[in-house]
Chains A and B, each alone.
Chain A
Amino acid sequence: KAGVTQTPRYLIKTRGQQVTLSCSPISGHRSVSWYQQTPGQGLQFLFEYFSETQRNKGNFPGRFSGRQFSNSRSEMNVSTLELGDSALYLCASSYLNSPLHFGNGTRLTVT
């Protein structure tokens, strides 16, 4: 069974631009969660989607948004990028009370 796939692996953007990250969960997993990982803050929860609905949300500004499609694939969007948005963005999928299965992440650099 294929794992969680995140694209792209690396992104370089300029302040003020917007970016869209993609995540394809493991087949059969309907829950997709997004995390931001930085050296200083560790793993910060962004949001979780289940059956196309946002189920939980972390404490991030409205510039961070996401959505989930009917095939459970998810996208995360960050608008008006700031330098502080530079981070590793991790996506994870799960099924019911199973552990999270993570993708390889997207490394976003904002210059």
Chain B
Amino acid sequence: AQTVTQSQPEMSVQEAETVTLSCTYDTSENNYYLFWYKQPPSRQMILVIRQEAYKQQNATENRFSVNFQKAAKSFSLKISDSQLGDTAMYFCAFMKPREPNRDDKIIFGKGTRLHILP
């Protein structure tokens, strides 16, 4: 069974600093998808970034980028020039490609609570 581990329950950084959130996962699959979601205090989960395992290039979305290490099964999120609005719970998630009649539910880590300090 797939597992997703986020080893940092809580982090705090100063505004404008760079912060990296860790995520490791366990799977025997070769093809899969990885995601980072953000859940601010308003509680709506928002997709931050997505990575396809067959793509070697790390995904980037503005100030958000990932360091995807497939062999190490590691998928960390880097937030550059952090802003107060980045304060949120961040969840790492794993998904196998959807196929009929298979257990391919999306697996979430327990989350990292990130505080951006003014």
A56 touches B45 (CB 8 A): no
Answer whether residue A70 sits at the interface, using C-beta atoms and an 8 A cutoff.
no
A105 and B98 in contact (CB under 8 A), knowing A42-B108, A43-B108, A45-B106? no
CB of A96 to closest CB in B, whole Å: 6
How many angstroms from the CA of A56 to the CA of B33 in the assembled complex? 18
Q: In whole angstroms, what is the CA distance A88 to B44 when docked?
A: 11
In the complex, the answer to whether B111 meets A92 with C-beta atoms within 8 Å is no
The prevalent SS among residues of A at the interface is strand
Contact bitstring A72-111, B, C-beta under 8 A = 1, else 0: 0000000000000000101010001101111111000000
Interface pair B45/A99, CB less than 8 Å apart: no
**Which residues of A lie under 8 Å from residue B33 when comparing CB positions?**
97, 99
- Considering only CB atoms, which chain A residue lies closest to B108 in the complex? A43
Instruction: Note all chain A residues with C-beta closer than 8 A to B45.
Output: 90, 92, 100, 102
B111–chain A nearest beta-carbon distance, Å: 6
Checking A56, A96, A97, A99 against B105 with a beta-carbon cut-off of 8 angstroms, the contacting residue is: A56
List A contacts of B109 (CB < 8 A): 42
- Across the interface, which residues of A come within 8 angstroms of B91, CB to CB? 42-43
Interface of B is mostly: loop
Give Cα A90 to B43, complex, Å: 10
What is the CA–CA distance of A100 and B50 in the complex, to the nearest angstrom? 11
Across the interface, which residues of A come within 8 angstroms of B46, CB to CB? Answer: 102
Give complex CA distance A58, B97 in Å. 18
The reply to whether the CB of A33 lies closer than 8 angstroms to some CB of chain B is yes
Does B78 have its Cβ within 8 Å of any Cβ on chain A?
A: no
Cβ–Cβ contact B44 & A104, under 8 A: yes
Check B44–A97 contact: CB distance below 8 A: no
Q: B44, A56: Cβ atoms under 8 Å?
A: no
Task: List the 7 closest pairs (A to B, CB-CB), nearest first.
Answer: A102-B45, A42-B110, A43-B108, A56-B105, A99-B47, A104-B44, A45-B105
Enumerate 25 A-B pairs (CB-CB under 8 Å) in ascending A order.
A33-B106, A42-B110, A43-B108, A43-B111, A45-B106, A45-B107, A48-B105, A92-B45, A96-B98, A97-B33, A97-B97, A99-B35, A99-B47, A99-B50, A100-B45, A100-B47, A100-B93, A100-B106, A101-B47, A102-B37, A102-B44, A103-B44, A104-B43, A105-B43, A105-B44
